[in-house]
Amino acid sequence: GISSQLVFIERLVGADDPNAVPRSPGPSLRAPEPWGGLPRGRGKRRQQSFVSKLRDKYGPVYTVYLGPRPVVVLCGLDAVKEALVDKAEEFSGRGKISIIDKIFQGYGVAFSNGQRWKTLRRFSLATLRDFGMGKRSIEERIQEEAQCLVEEIHKTEGELVDPTFFFNSVTSNIICSIVFGNRFDYRDKMFLTLLSIFNETFTLMSSPWGQLFELFSGIMKYLPGVHRRVHSNLEYVNNFITQRVESNKKSLDPNSPRDFIDCFLIRMDKEKETLGSEFHMRNLVLTTQSLFFAGTETSSTTLRYSFLLMLKYPQVAEKVQEEIDQVIGQDRPPGLEDRTRMPYTDAVIHEIQRFSDLLPLGVPHIVTQDTHFRGYFLPKGTDVYPLLSSVLHDPRHFKRPDSFDPGHFLDARGNFKKSEAFLPFSTGKRICLGESIARMELFLFFTTVLQNFSLASPVAPEDIDLTPRESGIGKVAPPYQLRFLPR
């Protein structure tokens, strides 16, 4: 969905002076709609028709106002791919998210730019690979965590539960094992506090107040509001990470790094005499924060949507379980090698990601140099929003873009079919660092749960509401309860 996610592109401030706007696309270089002119509903169909109207009126590239400043919006696969892939270097800058900028301020792998970003991304990718990203060791960690999840679910004894805690715990433990070198017990008080903070922060960032802050941060930063809670939450996590770093320092063996933090500390020591080195405490803490937060919240929210959609469409869940029984059976846990032999399940997981549309706006980009794009001139520093939602709902690539249909990823013979418009992790130089981990988690956690449990809802499928709890920078799944019934 789009209109409510775009309160900060939704609450457009029109400008009558075209000279006040950079030479970027848009009719008369002004906002396409007046203040308050956009639809307020959160229904997916209404939002998509809203985006279609803007695209029909102004084309796939147009200018809107984020408060007083213009931003360029990219709609549909062609425009997004042309910018982020064909002109990858020019569009590789990271824009600010105002509500968390006070914490990051251009440091850490997620929100840095230029040489700092290149250095941190190169190091982070190499280190994640060393700890098994995309390799067998991570698969084994996820399988072990999945079995812990099954044991924990069995303890519910078929009672109604909100699954949020389960999915937060398992996804967080995978990234914790890489970043901190250990998983946490599901009853660990600090672990529970951190999970609660992540959940609250993602919700606040995506709330109407969080979006309003993106519009008027220049004024609102001086006032009370949710931004202060977001800042205090992230500071709490930073303090936790700092304590872990200090603990690691005391027992560090340069010849045997235990985790991401150790690897960064070793590199810090090597470059301690290097002028302008990016390997310092601030980048360590904020890179760890980025990996920790993103590695927990996005996969967890996708899993929450996964099982909500299985409750809404029980016939899909039954077909997935049939495929699990045929390919895997009940005598061994699912493994990644099973995925190629499970085209229907693979298609369902892809459709869950497409339909749930977790980061509809994409994370903001800026152009790194003066750039000509589709006949328009974008000065260096221009903010750009590649609307991933418009790609995942592009009717030229998905026959029923507003419907949940695993057939979008199946051919006529029932084989898995890729789609170039499947970009939930974005694309180009800023593609999600943890894509391969996330894909492994979704497959293994989803199939392991459905191998062991059937799902039951207290609400009839036709009455299950898929409307997000919040819809802004990200989508927050609506709260729901279900029963896990042992198979």
Q: What is the DSSP string of 341-372?
A: G-HHHHHHHHHHHHHH-SSTT---EE-SS-EE
Q: What distances in angstroms separate CA 315 from CA 234, 310, 343, 406, 454, one per listed residue?
A: 41, 8, 16, 12, 12
Residue 90 tokens read as: 């020019």
List the one residue out of 474, 484, 346, 366 whose CA is nearest residue 429: 366
Backbone phi and psi for residue 186, each to the nearest 5 degrees, phi listed first: -65, -15
**Plot region of 67 (φ>0 → left; ψ -120 to 50 → alpha; else → beta):** left
Cβ neighbours, 10 Å, residue 438: 22
432 among annotated binding-site residues: yes
Residue type, 350: H
**Residues 44, 49, 54, 56, Cα dihedral to 10°:** 140
Position of tokens 């609102």?
220
Integer Cα distance of 71 and 64 in angstroms: 6
Chain centre to alpha carbon of residue 325:
31
Residues placed in the known binding site: 432
- Please report, in range form, the residues annotated as the binding site for heme: 432
